């Protein structure tokens, strides 16, 4: 049984210097938790305070372009599945065990955003401390593979993203998103420290074709290059989605056919980097392929505004 109490206080300030908009804030949190394992008669208490500052500076260069800079510091608490100190079997010889002594991770991140018309450019970099992760332990006698939870000392990361929408013709619109990633984590493992730099990229292409008689088609393609972490290599993977949409009776009746992951290719394949330690590889199938049919009919006009509610991280944890 896991109990968690979170108390937080906020301080925010907003100001303007000429055309420059400045927003700053400070969040202080106190977390008290108790992990009570009735079966093993083990009780783990934790109490900690985190200070989480944030700041954003925005500058509208002109009507076509603007620039912003931000800094955030955030906390990520381990979920219950990472804390529960019992076996969760993935297969007969593979399982993970939670660690009730895990600490939350803290991430400091800088971000730059630049917009020119509809084109977006984003660059962010930062460092995460006490990274929450799992590591494999292999038993040569039983052939069992256990994945155990731990906190890594730190992880450095950087991310660049470019979004470029453009029109090829009146019937053909394209939105291209290209993202590049860099990760370097410090991982102590079996008496050594592993920290290779990992580079990878992701390409997303969304194409919309508009035809006569309120008929349209959307093709989405996603490609993720080879990636991984300090222990595992993740092979490249891709998926393609297709959607067909048709409006009837002056668009009052709308029908949509959506086919997600049409080639059933969205699954991860992981290979352990150091075969002299463990010759291990496995795959995880996400089961993303599905066919969805939607039919909607509009009875008339409405001026009702649907308000979006923001759910805090603490509320999410309380409702899970």
Per-residue confidence at 319, pLDDT binned at 50, 70, 90?
very low
Over the range 123-145, which residues count as b (16 or more CB within 10 Å of their CB) and which as e? ebebebebbbbbbbeeeeeeeeb
What does the domain layout of the chain look like in residue ranges?
Answer: 1-140, 170-300
Higher pLDDT, 247 or 320: 247
pLDDT tens-digit readout, 133-175: 999 999 989 999 999 999 999 999 999 999 999 999 999 999 9
pLDDT tens-digit readout, 187-223: 999 999 999 999 999 999 999 999 998 999 999 999 9
pLDDT tens-digit readout, 305-317: 555 555 555 555 5
Q: pTM for this one? A: 0.85
Q: Closest by alpha carbon to 83, among 94, 71, 97?
A: 97
Q: What are phi and psi of 209, to 5 degrees?
A: -110, 125
Q: Is residue 291 scored above 60 in pLDDT?
A: yes
pLDDT given for residue 40 in this prediction? 82
Long-range contacts, stretch 270-273, CB < 8 angstroms, 24+ apart: 270/228, 270/232, 270/233, 270/234, 270/235, 271/232, 271/233, 271/235, 272/136, 272/231, 272/232, 272/233, 273/194, 273/196, 273/228, 273/230, 273/231, 273/232, 273/233
């Amino acid at each position: 049984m896991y109990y968690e109490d979170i108390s937080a206080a906020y301080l925010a300030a907003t100001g303007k210097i000429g055309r420059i908009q400045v927003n700053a804030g400070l969040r202080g949190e106190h977390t008290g938790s108790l992990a009570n394992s009735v079966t093993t008669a083990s009780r783990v208490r934790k109490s900690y305070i985190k200070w989480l500052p944030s700041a954003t500076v925005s500058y509208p260069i002109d009507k076509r372009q603007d620039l912003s800079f931000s800094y955030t510091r955030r906390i990520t608490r381990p979920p219950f599945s990472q804390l529960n100190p019992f076996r969760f079997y993935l297969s007969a010889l593979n399982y993970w065990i939670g660690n009730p002594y895990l600490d939350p991770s803290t991430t400091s991140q800088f971000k730059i955003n630049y917009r020119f018309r509809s084109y977006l450019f984003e660059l962010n970099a930062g460092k995460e401390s006490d990274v929450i992760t799992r590591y494999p332990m292999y038993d040569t006698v039983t052939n069992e593979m256990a994945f155990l939870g731990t906190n890594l000392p730190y992880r450095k990361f950087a991310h660049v993203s470019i979004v470029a929408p453009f029109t090829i013709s009146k019937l053909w619109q394209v939105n291209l998103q290209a993202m590049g990633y860099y990760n370097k984590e410090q991982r102590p493992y079996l008496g050594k420290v592993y920290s290779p730099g990992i580079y990878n990229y992701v390409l997303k292409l969304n194409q919309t074709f508009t035809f006569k008689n309120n008929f349209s088609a959307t093709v989405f393609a996603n490609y993720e290059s080879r990636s991984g972490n300090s222990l595992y290599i993740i092979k490249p993977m891709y998926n393609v989605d297709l959607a067909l949409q048709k409006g009837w009776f002056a668009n009052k009746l709308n029908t949509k056919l959506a086919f997600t992951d049409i080639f059933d290719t969205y699954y991860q394949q992981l290979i352990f980097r150091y075969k002299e330690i463990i010759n291990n590889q496995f795959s995880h199938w996400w089961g993303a392929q599905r066919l969805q049919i939607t039919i909607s009919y509009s009875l008339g006009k409405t001026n009702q505004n649907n308000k979006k509610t923001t759910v805090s991280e603490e509320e999410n944890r309380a409702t899970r």
